[in-house]
Structure 1
Amino acid sequence: MFVLRYLVMWTNFIADFSKQLTPEVWALIGSSTLETVYMSFSATLFAVVLGLPLGVYNYLTKPNQALANTKVNRFLEWVINIGRSIPFIILLFNLMPVTRFLVGTTLGTTASIIPLGVCALPFFARLTSNALGDIPSGLTETAKAMGTTVWQLVTKFYLPEALPILIKATTLTLVTLIGYSAMAGAVGGGGLGNTAISYGLHRNMPYVLWISTIIIVVIVMLCEKYGNKLADHFDHR
């Protein structure tokens, strides 16, 4: 009796799974996966390119640093803290006029990169500032004794020394944005989040929802694995 009931349950599962995950749906999931990767990596690049100099300058303006300036540092701290405090879903809606102006639309994967990148920018800037703060003070004193300029201090000493931590910070930013990209999909941003909600939730196709979730988890795990490997490769301490 138990075996018969098990076979019936398994047969029903296979039938429902095949009915929901047709070749067309699998193709949609595949394209949605690429959209998620595109959004997340592009927004991470945006955050790193703009957040890195912001974080470095924020650190340099702290007391006892090369460009110490209390007023500027307080302003930068205020900007970074405010930026990190705004919930992504609120920022997403607030930036819609900006996104429409820059991209021409607020829908789609490319449009989602703007709010994703802006959201991650202050987050990465804070991680950068903290990473530079972990550099031994002796290294800074040695660099100053050698008569280095501020540019040389940053490019020859600070960034190479903090590179492993910065790589891990980039990985953390990427992983965070993968989760946020799913949230962006809820408002027409595309990607696996949009597929999971449009098909898995609204069309009552739970297997699509589960497959989308599993793919997101796998992407996150792969990013963390290879991000940490890359950081360890450059860590010579």
Structure 2
Amino acid sequence: MTRLSVNINKIATIRNARGGNMPNLLKVAEDIQKFGAQGITIHPRPDERHIKYQDAYDLKSIVKVEYNIEGNPMDNFTKMVLEIKPTQVTLVPDAIDAITSNAGWDTVKHKAYLKEVISEFKRNGIRTSIFVNPDLKMIEGASKTGTDRIELYTEEFAEQYSLGNKAAIKPYTQCAILANELGLGINAGHDLSLENIEYFKQNIPHLLEVSIGHALICESLYDGLEKVIASYLKKLS
């Protein structure tokens, strides 16, 4: 079974809109675990517009399943991750002012930098993953950085699938096959939803984990977190 890690950034966005503590991020994280999700993902950004750095520390004692922290490994982020020691850190090359992640790493151009950062995390017992576009060269590059896993950036697949173009899955399948051959674990995320997750899962061999936030929270506004999480788990089983 592919594991479901729920990204709770959007819960923090709603909380921050009023400046109080509703919804309670920690309580939501507890409930998501109770409903069966196998992971909690957060992606704190430098401006703390949703997840705050303090949230990352507070969640450490709350998250009993896999704890995945995503972000660009700038100094403050790296310091935080090394102090918290989550299960996994996912490296994402997003700009400071990015609304959301919109590209994977150039693992060839940034090979030396990624090797340095990854080695530091791995020395501290933290599993590493690199956010990458579905490009065979980027998969090959990732294998030379020392990372444990890659996370396939799935926005293009999701967009094309919504237009009826199921052939858009092909580069992702090819990248997953190559990644597995190179000894890399395979994660995926970005715009995956109940509409496309089952097809994606069926066509990506060796898929270990998906990280889903925006769509899952939007779907939960209609059907509730417990029902929606159960639906994802069924489609991923």
TM-score category, normalised to shorter length:
under 0.3
Report the TM-score, using the length of structure 1 for normalisation: 0.27
Q: Which has the higher contact order (CA 8 A, sep 6+)?
A: 1
Q: Which has the larger radius of gyration?
A: 1
More strand by share: 2
